[in-house]
Structure 1
Amino acid sequence: MEDCGALFATERYGSGESWHYVAKDGAMESTRDGREDEPRGSSFGGLLKSVFLPQGYPESVSGDYLQYQFWDTVQAFSSSLSGTLATQASLRGVGVGNQEATVAAATVTWLLRDGTGMLGRIVFAWLKGNKLDSEAKKWRLFADILNDVAMFMEILAPFFPAWFTFIACTSGLFKAVVGVAGGATRAALTVHQARRNNMADISAKDGSQETLVNLAGLLVSLILIPLVTDNPALTISLFFLFTALHLFANYKAVRSVVMETLNEERLGIALRRFLHDGRVLTPMEANRQEPVFLGFRETLPIKLGVRLQEVVQSPEELRLALMRKGAPFLLGITNGCVRVCLAAHAHTRDEIRAACQAIWLSDVLSPSRQHGGLSGMVHKSYKLMDTEFDAFHKGLEAAGWDVTRTLLDWDEWRLEWKPKIR
């Protein structure tokens, strides 16, 4: 039998490569998983992996990365084709190909559209910027739906020349909202996917993937443009086909995301199941049940981190509220809303408990009817959490939830109160 030498070292490159070093005849030889030595990345598949996937994949990213990126690629490709149809319609609407159209009129229309979009970006970021982290899935899907609506408006605009400028500005406004919501939620998902503080690498590779997809879309568009020119029926038919694919891929993409941090929806789903049968759902189970469409609440709205005057109206009410076992938050129900005032020294665990009480109250109190004895319900929520929260919190940790930080939508107000209230 041939002497294979004595193994003296083994090294790995993530899960992709394993090398063995042996001493043989006074020299060092290396083999890769029992095969002959070959340079890393020499195969075409290895080259593609290094160009388009983050370093250290799959260990350096979340477990849902590949599935999400697949559907994200499909939606980007279909959106690219829809965008080509919309761009062609916009150019025709501003007068490209029309000898009677003037450069000045087209320029004014374009400037009005861009200006409306700029204002829309500022206003939307002001109104909803703090929601884009806590409800990233919902706003990601909303952005893509709104983008399709905007492109459909651009396709229809040339058929209504008297309203073209108004339609173009409205479409520009929608696309501005899409840009803010899409970019911000993409950043939030990148934070989730990064497992080695490699957000920049993931973002850069995501840009490479998107560029490749857009290049493929460009090549297909070169074939489509001659077919759809002066053929409105075919343009609209193809647009609806690409839009259907786009929306389906987006839905599958956000559904594939499994976030281990708690927002209000995921915390509520886990809490309700725990109070029902004592079992804490895993992140995978809770994410599957999390709604991904923006909708109207059927329960009382919740506001976290509000001012003291929104919870209590007098020193006597504050004195009674502070009789609760030293909980570092105050909770009340005013004007049809569950409000939580948080102490300055509260920790993440306290934030989760306060949110649990607020969610329970929101569930048991219907906004469609008046309730008496609200202070009694608040007191009951404290008693419930006194007996159930410790076990629930431990269950969250054991089930794989990240309880060191949350995506709960807390405002910035924090309160310090005196030990005694006269």
Structure 2
Amino acid sequence: MQWFLRDLTGMLGGILFTLYQGSNLDANAKMWRLVADLMNDLGMLMDLVSPLFPASFVFVVCFGSLSRSFTGVAGGATRAALTQHFALQNNAADISAKEGSQETMATMIGMAVGMLLARLTMGHPFAIWFSFLSLTFFHMYANYRAVCCLALTSLNTERSSILLLQFMESRQVLFPEQVSRMEHILPIQTIFWSTNKVKLPHKRINLGVRVSSLDQRDMMELLHSAGSHYRKAKYLLLERNQIINVILHKDSTTSDILQSVIHALVMAKLKEENTSVHVESQSWMDKHYKVFLQKLSSSGWKTERLLSPSIIWRANWLCESSDDKMD
């Protein structure tokens, strides 16, 4: 019965993790790649300590199974995303095959070293635990350093925020290697901007807001915005309580989504200065957005699309000179 509960917990954990975080894996591949490795180490630790707690044996092994289920989902999904990054010649299959061969070789070496350590530490519990914990911490640190060195060229909301803030201050665009040292890769990290400790504005953006969740006051403001500030745009922005809500048109493309997020980031930044956010942000977009994209491309960034969670809710509106409608 206890093994049934362990396996069931792992299966349910994988399903629930996919349900709540599946659409976020592409946008934050570095973070979830590291989390997958950490959860795998945690699962192995739970398996080893479970015999030490007979009264809580089922709970401990179920927790270990849950950790490994997260590893399976996050590890497999992020491996596919990172393979695309390394496939510079559109040779994802070749990269995947070679990565699998390297992993197999590393596993074989690990098995040989593990057998040697098992023989040397046989009958010495302290030496066994010291070896396991030492190698586990080394594995975690090595994975952390490896992920930190990974310079992705795709744009997500955090990397876009870092790049935009630098561009607004100096009119210069950072390279992927520079941004990789500034973005966070742990879920529990508090995000600060470089040395001045300013929180990045991407945390104050809601992308793909459902129109029916807005109240009458917000709807009236959106109707006004659709016919004035965003007459030609396929998105609408609504600021409430320092949060920038992004409503996307049903016909919006990947370039429209990227533009809407950049516009929302500009608005969030200008809101800190207590300016007229709609007018000033639109003026900034008209003057600098195309230049910003050109500099991103010349610095090695991919500007075709923005990596973001799946956008489920979209809206449809018609803008005319005298009458604005929204469905």
**Do residues 317 (structure 1) and 218 (structure 2) align?**
no
RMSD over aligned CA atoms reads: 2.4
Alignment of 1:6-405 (within 5 A): 108-295=1-188, 298=199, 300-310=203-213, 313=216, 316-322=220-226, 323-324=228-229, 325-334=231-240, 337-363=243-269, 376-405=276-305
Any conservation in 1 of the 2:157–2:306 contact (CA below 8 Å)?
no
Q: Secondary structure at the match of 1:294?
A: coil
Q: Which has the larger radius of gyration?
A: 1
The letter for the 2-side match of 1:317 is: E
- Aligned partners of 2:258 and 2:305 also within 8 Å: no
In the superposition, the TM-score normalised over structure 1's length comes to 0.68
Does the 8 A contact of 2:210 with 2:247 survive in 1?
yes
Q: Note the C-alpha offset of 1:379.
A: 4.1
Determine what percentage of the aligned residue pairs are the same residue.
37
CA distance in 2, matches of 1:319, 1:112: 53
Residues 36 and 74 in structure 2, CA contact (< 8 A), matched pair in contact too? yes
Cα distance in 2 between the residues matched to 1:339 and 1:312 = 13
Q: Which has the higher helix share?
A: 2
Alignment length (residue pairs): 309
> Is the CA contact 1:137–1:254 (under 8 Å) kept in the aligned structure 2?
yes
Distance in 2 (CA, whole Å) between partners of 1:213 and 1:133 is: 26
Q: For the Cα contact (< 8 Å) 1:311–1:334, is it kept in 2?
A: no
2:196 — aligned with what? none
2: CA distance between counterparts of 1:345 and 1:363?
27
Q: 1:387 to 1:263 in 2, by over 3 A?
A: same
Q: Deviations over 1:3-45 (max 9, x none)?
A: xxxxxxxxxxxxxxxxxxxxxxxxxxxxxxxxxxxxxxxxxxx
- Determine the C-alpha separation between the residues in 2 that align with 1:365 and 1:249: 40
Alpha-carbon shift at residue 319 of structure 1 (Å): 2.4
1:360–1:318 Cα change, 3 Å: closer
Offset of 1:377 from its aligned partner? 3.0
8 Å CA contact 2:24–2:309 kept in 1: the answer is: yes
Letter matched to residue 261 of structure 1: S
The separation in 1 between residues aligned to 2:243 and 2:51, in whole angstroms, is 46
Unaligned runs of 5+ in 1: 1-107
Q: Is 1:409 matched up with 2:309?
A: yes
3-state secondary structure, aligned to 2:324: coil
- Three-state SS of the structure 2 residue aligned to 1:112 is helix
TM-score (norm 2): 0.86
Letter in 2 for 1:319: L
Q: CA deviation at 1:313?
A: 3.3
User: In structure 2, how many angstroms separate the alpha carbons of the residues matched to 1:361 and 1:153?
Assistant: 46
Secondary structure in 1 aligned to 2:216? coil
Runs of at least 5 residues in structure 2 that lack an aligned partner in the other structure: 192-198
